[in-house]
Amino acid sequence: MSRLGLPLPPAQFPLVWEPGDEVELRPTAEIEARLAVLQVVLARCFGMPAEAGMSWLLGSHLVETVTPPEWQFVMGGRGDHRSFVLHHDAAFALAWVLGLTKHLDPSEPTDERLTELLPNLVGGETFAQWRSRTLVAPRDAVEVAALLDFYYCLDWGHLELERLGGTHPSLIDANAIGQRRWALEWAVILRGPYHDPPAGWEEVDLST
């Protein structure tokens, strides 16, 4: 973190996972579905008509995976537009988990090719067609959990830097780091005496 110009967490800073915890990723199909839904949400942010978004979700049988806030935004444009735009970084993190992107460097912005890697909504590509042309290779769960732990510390470091009145040392700000952490927190399932059952997308706790 010092390389990134961020303050280090205190010695008593809690870990995301403890020795002995079991770690796994959510099922690949579930991660793919979440990534596709985020693509629709982002498309709505940039002008996709509500009818087109609804039609795509129905045709791809993904309606049940859309959260209530996402549904309100896709259908009626209700909600915080800016917060949904930020999901670009969450989508980038999920693409990394699936092995579609080569890096999730906290000092670098999202891969310019990200849109090409996601469903081609304008071209009418369905979820099934996208899955057929996309060769996902999910990363090892331990690798993803280790990066989650790093982003957990980065999230604290960026917020602490803001509290101290410092300036961000890279192109990536606290919002982007938080979005990437959100995606990693959701994708990783930790099992142990101190872990609750896997949370839904909207229930991911980023308060600590």
DSSP alpha helix (H) spans, 60-173: 68-76, 81-85, 87-97, 114-117, 127-133, 141-163
Cβ pair 189, 25 in contact under 8 A:
yes
What's the pLDDT at 84? 95
CA 56 to chain centre: 21
What's the pLDDT at 21? 83
What's the pLDDT at 57? 96
Domains of the chain, by residue range, sit at: 2-24+140-199, 27-133
201, 180, 151, 177 alpha-carbon torsion, rounded to 10°: -120
What's the pLDDT at 2? 57
Q: Full-prediction pTM beyond 0.75?
A: yes
What's the pLDDT at 4? 66
Please give the full DSSP string across 79-92, using - where no structure is assigned: S-HHHHHTHHHHHH
Dist CA 126 CA 65 (whole Å): 15
Among 79, 76, 91, CA closest to 42: 91
Structural tokens at position 162 = 């803001």
What's the pLDDT at 173? 82
Compute mean pLDDT per 10 residues along the chain, 208 residues long, and list them: 65 70 94 98 95 95 96 94 94 97 89 89 93 94 93 82 69 86 96 86 87
Return the exposure string of 163-188: e unless at least 16 CB atoms fall within 10 Å of the residue's CB, then b. eeeeebebebebebbbbbbbbbbbbb
